[in-house]
Amino acid sequence: MLNFNEADEQYAGSGSTDFSPMPEGTVVDVLLTIRPGGSGDGGLLKQSQRSDAQYLDCELTVTNGEFARRKFWTNLTVMGGSLDDNGKSKAGNISMRTIRAMLESCYNIEPRDMSEEAKAVRVLSSYGDLNNLIFKTSVGTEEYNEKVNNKLDRIIVPGMPEYKQPLGPDGLIRSPKPSSAPAQATVAATPVAATGTVAEAPSQAPANSSGKPSWA
């Protein structure tokens, strides 16, 4: 016998059954989950059906506040696609700046802080290290198939008026994990938006200890 009487009611955040998108510009703390696609870096990447681009399919879940448990999704292209004059992926460069901002937001690192400790925070062993990262962001809206959805807008980092160190669903802040890789200089700190997408059912990405991302 399967008894669902004790199961929680269908939830859209703080007891609300309103599934409308969060208002444009809303600032929230989100938890990132990579939904692996079987390509690249331990199978974490997805292969574009229209080009040679490979990207991270990311699910973002609001961790607390009025919109707790709301979800939206974004793609972060990390390689391939159109190239700049230096032969580097244009979309990949944007995503690298976005990921840097996510790390700085999560761990309260000033974008201009180039101390050895700050550099170490910006070094990952693989994209799998982004799983369960919690950061602060503003949300935007976009229309897709005649439906308005939320999208990743601007990562909120230390030094911005809206910044306050983000909290997980447990109400705790996150401390940086010790890095086994040497700290290196990284790309310029310019928080930027990534592309939003409609996604499938979430799955948890396995962490991969090999293959350091090229931007680290």
Confidence of residue 11 (pLDDT cuts 50, 70, 90): low
User: What does the pLDDT look like over 45-88, one tens digit per residue?
Assistant: 999 999 999 999 999 999 999 999 999 999 999 999 999 999 89
User: Which pLDDT belongs to residue 74?
Assistant: 95
97 vs 208, more confident? 97
User: Which pLDDT belongs to residue 204?
Assistant: 38
97-100: long-range contacts (C-beta < 8 A, 24 or more apart)?
97/187, 97/188, 97/189, 97/190, 97/191, 97/192, 98/152, 98/155, 98/191, 98/192, 98/193, 98/194, 99/130, 99/215, 100/186, 100/187, 100/189, 100/215
DSSP string, 102-157: HHHHHHT--TT--SHHHHHHT--SSGGGGTT-EEEEEEEEEEETTEEEEEEEEEE-
* Least reliable range by pLDDT among 1-5, 14-18, 170-174: 14-18
User: Which pLDDT belongs to residue 140?
Assistant: 96
User: What does the pLDDT look like over 92-110, one tens digit per residue?
Assistant: 999 999 999 999 999 999 9
| Domain chopping of the chain, boundaries | 27-196
Q: Are 120 and 103 in contact (CB under 8 A)?
A: no
Indicate the average pLDDT of the chain. Answer: 80
Q: Are 151 and 43 in contact (CB under 8 A)?
A: no
- How far apart are the C-alpha atoms of 61 and 29, rounded to whole Å? 8
User: Which pLDDT belongs to residue 5?
Assistant: 78
Can you give the pTM of this predicted structure? Answer: 0.74
